């Protein structure tokens, strides 16, 4: 399969010549290996048993290979991390190492943080501007920088976004015919339960219970539902529920494998906002996984069917927000910004996504599964502006409409297909 350039490639082009080591982190199948291997003079694949045995016997051997050296699935021999850190301490010249990992280290493996020596970059599935459907015309980085020009037309409609949700952002999955794609996503999920967790040190005593919990988590996509609510949904009708510690272990391990990708709550320093909610907003690494867990099809989503823990929303609305969130997080990272959500403690006000730059400038984003933008869709954005003033450099509604434009109140309205770096 021909390699499609990713947004993270631009980040690597800017960083790799000057930094001694970069770690690409993300779930299996997101494209870390393809991205990093094209820049490597030597490739160490620790998922290959023979190579792993050699490096386990002598982890320092990775420092004697041609540079740049790419070490794939480093977490399978976690001593490699500290070897690389020590090596770049001794010789901190640019372009020496890249590492890729589809899991963080287990609790019982201690590694030094690598702060200042190993820069970490998240790699997520392919997002909308990487999929080659429509040329983006609205730059998230420009909006965040206060350069608000926007325009452009998209031919994509709701049915097209449904197709993109179901096709997935995993590069190898997107290329498959529909039936094969479903089978591959099912296999991906099954592998997590049957293999990946145990390979990375976690014991799964009740695979069916883990699958049920994952399905309930999928039904909580784009919500801040309490973990007790998710557990109750996973065990409805069961007299015996898994212990909370067991469920917490599942959650921690799935986070470690980057399968869960929650958006943290925004708690801004030095702001007048008080009593904000602290719960993360739930997302899987790709909305296609949530759709498969819940048995969603194009027809069922377009009919408004599907399970969700939020009684006032549709599954399609939740999955569309997840697709938008996936895209915004990648674009924000490229703009050296962070992505959060905001919800007041009493639920009076919510902002779906808050992109914050290092200098505390904010781009506030609402997500709407609609081809129109009504006044009621912007009321929370107006509230945030009233609270933070000029710190909110722009506000945007991302929807499924055909045209990017700016409303009389100054809010940008941007079809997801037109949003780019």
pLDDT of residue 243: 76
Please state, in angstroms and rounded to a whole number, the distance separating the CA atoms of residues 234 and 55: 41
Q: Are 412 and 388 in contact (CB under 8 A)?
A: no
Residue 353: phi, psi to the nearest 5?
-140, 135
Yes or no: say if 209 and 242 are a contact pair by the CB < 8 Å rule: yes
Determine the pLDDT at residue 244. 78
Res 111: pLDDT: 53
CA–CA separation, 158 and 44 (whole Å): 43
Q: What does the alpha-carbon distance between residue 70 and residue 253 come to, in Å, rounded to a whole number?
A: 25
Distance CA 113, CA 125 (A): 25
pLDDT at position 149 is 82
List 353's β-bridge partners, or say none.
Answer: 365
HSE (CB half, 13 Å, CA atoms) of 365? 25
pTM across the whole model: 0.95
Sheet holding 21-25, edge to edge: 42-45, 69-72, 97-101, 21-25, 118-122
Q: Return contacts of 177-182, CB within 8 angstroms, 24+ apart.
A: 182/292
What pLDDT, on the 0 to 100 scale, is given for residue 108? 47
The 10 Å CB-count burial string (b at 16+, else e) for 27-56 is bbbbbbbebbeeebeebbbbeeeebbebbe
Q: Give the pLDDT of the chain (421 residues) as one tens digit per residue.
A: 788 999 999 999 999 999 999 999 999 999 999 999 999 999 999 999 999 999 999 999 999 999 999 999 999 999 999 999 999 999 999 999 999 999 876 554 445 555 568 999 999 999 999 999 999 999 999 999 998 789 999 999 999 999 999 999 999 999 999 999 999 999 999 999 998 888 777 778 888 889 999 999 999 999 999 999 999 888 887 767 777 787 888 899 999 999 999 999 999 887 889 889 999 999 999 999 999 999 999 999 999 999 898 888 899 999 999 999 999 999 999 999 999 999 999 999 999 999 999 999 999 999 999 999 999 999 999 999 999 999 999 999 999 999 999 999 999 999 999 999 9
């Amino acid at each position: 399969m021909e390699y499609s350039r990713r947004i993270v490639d631009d980040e690597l082009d800017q960083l790799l010549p000057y930094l001694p080591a970069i770690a690409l982190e993300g779930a299996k199948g997101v494209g870390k290996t393809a991205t990093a291997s094209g820049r490597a003079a030597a490739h160490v694949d620790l998922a290959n048993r023979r190579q792993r045995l050699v490096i386990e016997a002598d982890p320092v051997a990775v420092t004697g290979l041609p540079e740049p050296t790419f070490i794939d699935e480093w977490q399978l021999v976690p001593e490699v991390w500290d070897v690389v850190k020590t090596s770049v301490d001794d010789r901190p010249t640019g372009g020496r190492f890249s590492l890729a990992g589809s899991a963080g280290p287990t609790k019982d493996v201690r590694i030094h943080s690598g702060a200042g020596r190993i820069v970490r970059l998240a790699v997520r599935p392919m997002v909308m501007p990487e999929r080659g459907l429509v040329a983006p015309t609205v730059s998230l980085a420009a909006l965040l920088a206060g350069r608000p020009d926007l325009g452009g037309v998209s031919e994509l409609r709701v049915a097209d976004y449904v197709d993109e949700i179901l096709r997935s952002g995993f590069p190898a999955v997107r290329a498959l015919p529909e039936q094969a794609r479903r089978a591959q996503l099912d296999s991906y999920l099954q592998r997590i339960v049957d293999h990946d967790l145990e390979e990375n040190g976690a014991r799964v005593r009740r695979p069916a219970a883990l699958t049920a919990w994952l399905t309930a988590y999928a039904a909580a996509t784009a919500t801040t539902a309490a973990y007790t609510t998710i557990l109750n949904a996973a065990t409805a009708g069961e007299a015996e529920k898994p212990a909370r510690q067991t469920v917490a272990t599942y959650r921690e391990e799935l986070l470690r494998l980057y399968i869960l990708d929650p958006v943290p709550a925004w708690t801004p320093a030095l702001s007048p906002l008080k009593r904000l909610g602290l719960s993360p907003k739930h997302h899987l690494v790709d909305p296609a996984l949530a759709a498969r867990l819940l048995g969603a099809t194009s027809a069922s989503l377009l009919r408004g069917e599907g399970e969700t823990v939020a009684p006032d929303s549709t599954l399609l609305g939740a999955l569309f927000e997840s697709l938008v969130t996936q895209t915004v997080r990648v674009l924000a990272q490229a703009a050296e910004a962070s992505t959060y959500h905001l919800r007041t403690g009493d639920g009076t006000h919510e902002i779906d996504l808050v992109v914050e730059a290092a200098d505390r400038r904010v781009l506030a984003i609402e997500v709407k599964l609609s081809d129109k933008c009504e006044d009621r869709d912007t009321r929370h954005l107006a509230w945030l502006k009233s609270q933070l003033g000029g710190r909110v450099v722009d506000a945007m509604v991302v929807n499924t409409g055909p045209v990017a434009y700016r409303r009389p109140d100054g809010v940008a309205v941007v079809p997801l297909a037109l949003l780019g770096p």
